[in-house]
Amino acid sequence: MRGFVLAGLVLASQFAVGAEAPAPREREGDFVIHNFEFSSGETLPEVRIHYHAFGEPKRDSHGVVRNAVLIVHGTGGTGGSLIRAEFSGELFGPGQLLDATRYFIVLPDALGHGKSSKPSDGLHARFPRYGYNDMVETEYRPVDRRPGCETRAAHHGNFHGLHAYLAVG
């Protein structure tokens, strides 16, 4: 009898460990900005900002999304570089600080990085000159230019901390 009870407890503990909430669903996409004018005055007919998103936008009674969180990567990184156990795994799960069941989390690739528009896509030296303000403007567009969306900004990394500062100041 003792063996059955012990086996039952071991089996039950395996189900308890395996009963963790599922990881939040990630999706990728591209937000295309049409006729974007850079700070230099130059324009491109299309600027593509690639992103990873977790959670769902939740609208208030006026239709405004109130749960959007934008997290930007560090120098030379991508939004996808933040999808790892020690970052998104610690922040986006149920009950965690940025629980993806509560927040709409967007991780963009900055202009010139990852799968977003960059000079090496083909324009090379003909790509418009761009700086921090252009990067900030294009990072926020996938969230803030959606009708009725309010961003709660968060930041990660080094020079993108400056981007969060530029966006609010």
Adjacency order of strands within the sheet including 43-54:
26-37, 43-54, 104-108, 65-72, 149-155
Residues 1 and 8: beta-carbon distance below 8 Å: no
Quick one: which of 155, 169, 162, 168 has its CA closest to 131?
162
pLDDT tens for residues 120-133? Answer: 999 999 999 999 88
What is the distance between the terminal CA atoms of the chain, rounded to a whole angstrom? 69
Predicted pLDDT at 57? 86
Predicted pLDDT at 12? 38
Question: Residue 79 is encoded by which pair of tokens?
Answer: 């939004």
In sequence order, what are the residues at sequence separation of 6 or more whose Cβ sits closer than 8 angstroms to the Cβ of residue 5?
none
Q: How confident is the model at residue 6 (pLDDT cuts 50, 70, 90)?
A: very low
Place of tokens 């090379």: 124
Nearest-angstrom CA–CA distance, 74 and 161? 8
pLDDT tens for residues 88-145? Answer: 999 999 999 999 999 999 999 999 999 999 999 999 999 999 998 898 888 887 776 5
Rg, C-alpha atoms of the chain? 20
Residue 169 has pLDDT above 70, yes or no: no
Predicted pLDDT at 125? 92
pLDDT tens for residues 39-89? Answer: 999 999 999 999 999 999 888 888 777 888 888 888 788 999 989 999 899
Predicted pLDDT at 44? 96
CA quadruple 155, 159, 162, 166: dihedral sign: negative
Nearest-angstrom CA–CA distance, 88 and 82? 6
Residues 109 and 22: beta-carbon distance below 8 Å: no
Nearest-angstrom CA–CA distance, 106 and 139? 10
Nearest-angstrom CA–CA distance, 42 and 149? 28
Bigger pLDDT: 135 or 166?
Answer: 135
Predicted pLDDT at 95? 93
pLDDT tens for residues 22-33? Answer: 567 889 999 999
Could you tell me the pTM of the whole model? Answer: 0.75
